[in-house]
Amino acid sequence: MLPAEVQRIILLVGLLATAYLMILAWNEDFGASTQTVVRTDAPTSQVTPGADLPAVEMAQPQNDAVGDLPDESLFSDAPAQASAATTSDADAGRLIKVSSSTLVLWIDQLGGDIVRAWLPEHPVTIDQPDTPMQILERAPGKLYIAQSGLGGPDGTDKGGNRPNYRLPAHIAAQLDGNTLNLPSDAAFVLPFVAEVDGVVVEKRFTFTPGSYLVEVEHRVENRRSAPFTAGLFAQLKRDNHEPDGTTSFTLGPQPYLGAAVTTDAERYQKVEFDDLADGESFSDSVDGGWVAILQHYFISAWVAQPDVRHKLFGYERGGVHFIGYTAPYKTIAPGQVGSYTASFYVGPKDQKVLEQIAPNLNLTVDYGFLWWLAVPLFNLLDWLHDNIAPNWGVAIMLLTLLVKIVLYPLFNTSFRSMANMRRVAPDMKRLQERYADDRQKLSQEMMALYKREKVNPLGGCLPMLLPMPIFLALYWVLFESVELRQAPFFLWINDLSVLDPYFVLPLLMGASMYIQQLLSPAMGDPMQVRMMRLMPVFFTVLFLFFPAGLVLYWLVNNVLSLAQQYWVNRQYDAAAASKA
């Protein structure tokens, strides 16, 4: 028969193996699985024209039947004029599909709205590599579209009506069915033309190869005998449906799904859907500016022309959220031509690209209150990836090494303090045994021991505290940076932004913490020592659900700390033996 100690070890190993298999099974059945995305051929074409654009009065609506066209209160200080919405069944043939390597858009010729957007270079999940990420959509149960037009006294988008645009003949001849394939080597201007009450409006979409930014221009030729006065509006319109690729379960913080703007007072201001749903309309004004709707890793945004004062607005109606802006009126004399321009971005939250498009737009990559630490960490990580290690996992390991080198003097001091504590550990144990029933006397004697031996009992805590801000900042870097979305490391880890599917990294991290504790002196009373012994177990369970890239950082940090602690202990022991 095996000795009792061996039996206990075998039983413990069996329990650990059983727990590991149960966690794997639980993760497979209830863990962070993603929804399977099924695409339809085209967006729905049945719409309510009057409900396609916002009509909101920033005070209290005067009429619940007000449609969604912008009234004059959004352009000037004139009182709001309610517009009745009319319903019509649109022809599905009016939807034009515009396809490039980076963007696939569906544009509705009624109003020129963008009613669907796909990102071919960003698969919705790793398991669906041929299914592009979908941002905008108009379908049953899903509404998320980008709209722009001309409002105001003579605006073509008012009173519940939208211009019925048509493609010029030379563009229509290039269609393959309803699809226009864009050239890959040059910018392309896609014009839609409509004539409304003696005014010819040409709505131009300019696409640039490899770019997610679309320039939108309303070119107006006034053929009337009277001046034409109107102002540009641009808005995003979204309901509460979950974005593509949303995980069914996560233990960490939820990504922000909502609107954001930039104002004179705040460079980056969230406009949460819940606040709009509670009846709190939003209004402000800004020179230039932008409005956006954010989701995990991706963004859609209307960017206004700089150096022009724009009115911002946001509200909710019928479960649909609106965020947008209006530009000042512009008057075009009879026989003259004028234009109204805006830019529309739909794509990944790439900080470098967003920073070039508009001031403060890069702040939509929200790193939280530790942004001042997260931004340089990301820049360093990005530099390492671009110049040294093309694998993001290796770049994270190199980043960890650099952080350890920078903090080496502080860690070295802490490890020396821990070595001192290890030296006086036998004396501390004797004091604990002698004064086991007198905690006050034990405390006094221990303080006297620390003073006599010149030991700082808190010095050893620094190695645990110093990495925490970096850890939290790196968590947000991994959580928010689209560059690490679906970034592989090696073997089974094909996405550093999600949890390790087999929990190997968290288990190795827990083992490294346990070994680190063995090299550290036990501090405090027996109860505190037992609590500290449970810390590796607690952290292992917690890290099971953290992104693999973050666990990799913590594991490498622990391994480097172990090596440094072992080296300091050897030096200290050698010095103590020489002195003896």
Say whether both 313 and 412 belong to one domain: no
* Tens-digit pLDDT profile for residues 134-180: 999 999 889 999 999 999 999 999 867 899 999 999 999 999 999 99
Higher pLDDT, 405 or 121: 121
Residue 222 sits in the same domain as residue 362: yes
pLDDT confidence tier of residue 533, bands split at 50, 70 and 90: confident
Residues 385 and 361 placed together within one structural domain of the fold: no
Same domain, 394 and 524: yes
Does residue 483 fall inside a structural domain?
A: yes
How confident is the prediction for the chain on average, in pLDDT?
81
pTM of the model: 0.81
Domain boundary among 348, 366, 384: 366
**β-strand 95-99 against 179-181: which pairing, if any?**
parallel
Q: Does residue 50 fall inside a structural domain?
A: no
Same domain as 405, residue 298: no
Q: Answer yes or no: is 565 within a domain.
A: yes
> Each residue of 278-295: pLDDT tens digit?
888 999 999 999 999 999
List, for residues 103-130, the tens digit of each pLDDT value.
Answer: 999 999 999 999 999 999 999 988 888 8
Q: For residue 221, is pLDDT > 70? A: yes
Average pLDDT rounded to a whole number, residues 47-65: 36
Task: Note whether 475 and 540 are same-domain residues.
Answer: yes
User: Is 413 within the bounds of a domain?
Assistant: yes
Question: Measuring CA to CA, which residue among 71, 246, 44 is closest to residue 140?
Answer: 44
At 80 the pLDDT is 36
> What pLDDT, on the 0 to 100 scale, is given for residue 468?
77
**Do residue 273 and residue 417 come from a single domain?**
no
Write down the pLDDT at residue 85.
33
What domain range is 473 assigned to?
Answer: 375-423+459-579
C-beta pairs of 492-498 under 8 Å, 24+ apart in sequence: 493/393, 493/548, 494/126, 495/126, 495/548, 496/392, 496/393, 496/396, 496/547, 496/548, 496/549, 496/552, 497/547, 497/548, 497/549, 498/32, 498/247, 498/547, 498/548
Query: Do 356 and 291 reside in the same domain of the chain?
Result: yes
Quick check: 380 pLDDT over 70? yes
Q: Domain boundary residue among 331, 348, 366?
A: 366
Type of residue found at 475: Y
In percent, how much of the chain has pLDDT > 90? Answer: 48
**Predicted pLDDT at 364:** 95
Report the distance separating Cα 111 and Cα 158, nearest Å: 11
pLDDT at 79: 34
Q: What is the pLDDT of residues 490-523, one digit of tens each?
A: 888 998 988 888 899 999 999 998 887 777 655 5
**Residue 441 pLDDT greater than 90, yes or no:** no
Amino acid at 539: F
Mean pLDDT of 55-67: 31
In angstroms, rounded to a whole number, what is the distance separating the alpha carbons of residues 404 and 365?
A: 26
The verdict on 292 and 390 lying in the same domain is no
Q: Under a CB-based contact definition with an 8 Å cutoff, are residues 217 and 234 in contact?
A: no
- pLDDT the model gives residue 114: 97
- pLDDT for 29 equals 44
Q: Is the pLDDT at 309 greater than 90, yes or no? A: yes
In terms of domains, do 160 and 230 share one? yes
Q: What are the Cα distances from residue 141, in Å, to 136, 241, 320, 511?
A: 13, 7, 11, 47
- Asked, for residue 43, whether it belongs to a domain, the answer is no
pLDDT digits (tens, 9 = 90+) for 243-283: 987 764 455 567 899 999 999 999 999 999 999 988 889 99
Identify the pLDDT of residue 561.
83
Assess whether pLDDT exceeds 50 at residue 556: yes
Q: Residue 332 forms beta bridges with which residues?
A: 228
Residues 264 and 412 placed together within one structural domain of the fold: no
**Does any domain span residue 169?**
yes
Name the domain boundary from 322, 339, 366: 366
Total domains, the chain: 2
* Residue range 1-23, pLDDT digits in tens: 555 555 555 555 555 555 555 55
User: 290: domain CATH number?
Assistant: 2.70.98.90
Strands 213-222, 269-271: pairing is unpaired
Nearest-5° angle of CA 481, CA 487, CA 488?
155
Domain shared by 91 and 132, yes or no:
yes
